[in-house]
Amino acid sequence: MEQTASKIRVLIADDHALVRDGVRRILEDQDDIEVIGEARDGQEAIAKALAAGPDVVIMDITMPGTTGIDATRAIRSSNEHVQVLGLTVHESPEYFFSMLQAGAAGYLLKKDATSAELTDAIRAVHRDGVYMHPTVAKWLMKDRMGDLQRERAPNVDTGLTGREEEILKLVADGLFNKDIADRLHLSPATVQTHRANIMQKLNLHSRADLVKYALRRGLIQLDD
């Protein structure tokens, strides 16, 4: 007897009921996605995420009280296996990098995102741990072009070993230490040691810094 694949469990956090209803209707039509709850503000999102343990939280940024950024940070600090997908009106580098720094795996703009893109993004962050809307990708690459030209010189000696370059790419792609360990046939402790060495050699301080560095070096590509 075949085992039925489990559905992606989603929590919707937005202070506008109309948005929550619209997102729920879209997701209810998907065979592989299940909406397990809704939250009207950041604090409720934290409580429900910790209680229900969703796979993905769709997170608005500007909400009363606790912001989506703070809620993302709290959720990810408590359970790193919960992926957060930002869904926002804010087409702003400050908001984007703040969400990335807080631990978000993806960022969608309400004005541009279609129903298909929303469901694709949910599947992407659940599967790969990373997704960025094409509009954000275009803005990001344009915004970082100055840094790209300054920092991405040919044959740059980063001081990283081949294994460290490999782990850097996987971390930037959104994989956790255990996932990287399984893929490379290493222990999680060894992966963590490599990761710490990477951060020290490159003078980086967070996963967001790693992602930005990997983008500049061309080690990863944003979704088209």
Give the domain CATH number at 61: 3.40.50.2300
Give residue 196's domain range: 149-217
Residue 222 domain-assigned?
Answer: no
Answer with the one of 116, 142, 168 that is the final residue of a domain.
Answer: 142
Q: How confident is the model at residue 221 (pLDDT cuts 50, 70, 90)?
A: low
Residues 176 and 129 in one domain: no
Residue 37, pLDDT > 90, answer yes
pLDDT reported for residue 155: 42
Residues 68 and 117 in one domain: yes
- Please give the average per-residue pLDDT across 182-205, as a whole number: 88
The residue among 137 and 198 whose pLDDT is bigger is: 198
Residues 13 and 109 in one domain: yes
Residues 134 and 186 in one domain: no
* Number of separate domains in the chain: 2
pLDDT reported for residue 20: 95
Residues 51 and 104 in one domain: yes
Residue 78 domain-assigned?
Answer: yes
The residue among 100 and 18 whose pLDDT is bigger is: 18
Residues 135 and 166 in one domain: no
pLDDT reported for residue 3: 42
Residues 37 and 75 in one domain: yes
Alpha-carbon gap, residue 114 to 134, rounded angstroms: 12
* Average pLDDT taken over every residue of the chain: 82
- Please give the average per-residue pLDDT across 178-183, as a whole number: 88
Answer with the one of 142, 160, 188 that is the final residue of a domain.
Answer: 142
Residues 73 and 154 in one domain: no
Residue 131, pLDDT > 60, answer yes
Residues 95 and 173 in one domain: no
Residues 121 and 157 in one domain: no
Answer with the one of 142, 162, 186 that is the final residue of a domain.
Answer: 142
Residues 104 and 189 in one domain: no
- Please give the average per-residue pLDDT across 74-85, as a whole number: 92
Residue 193, pLDDT > 70, answer yes
Q: Which of 27-36, 40-49, 187-196, 214-223 has the lowest mean pLDDT?
A: 214-223
Q: Which of 58, 55, 73 is nearest to 107 (CA)?
A: 58
Residues 198 and 213 in one domain: yes
Sort residue 53 into left (φ over 0), alpha (ψ -120 to 50) or beta. Answer: left
User: Residue 82 carries which side chain, given as an amino acid letter?
Assistant: V
Residue 44, pLDDT > 50, answer yes
Check which CATH number belongs to the domain holding 167 and give it.
1.10.10.10
**Cβ atoms 104, 131 nearer than 8 A:** no
**Max Cα–Cα distance, the chain, nearest Å:** 57
- Please give the average per-residue pLDDT across 204-210, as a whole number: 75
pLDDT above 70: percentage of residues in the chain: 81
pLDDT reported for residue 123: 94
State both tokens at 188. 């999680």
Residue 92, pLDDT > 80, answer no
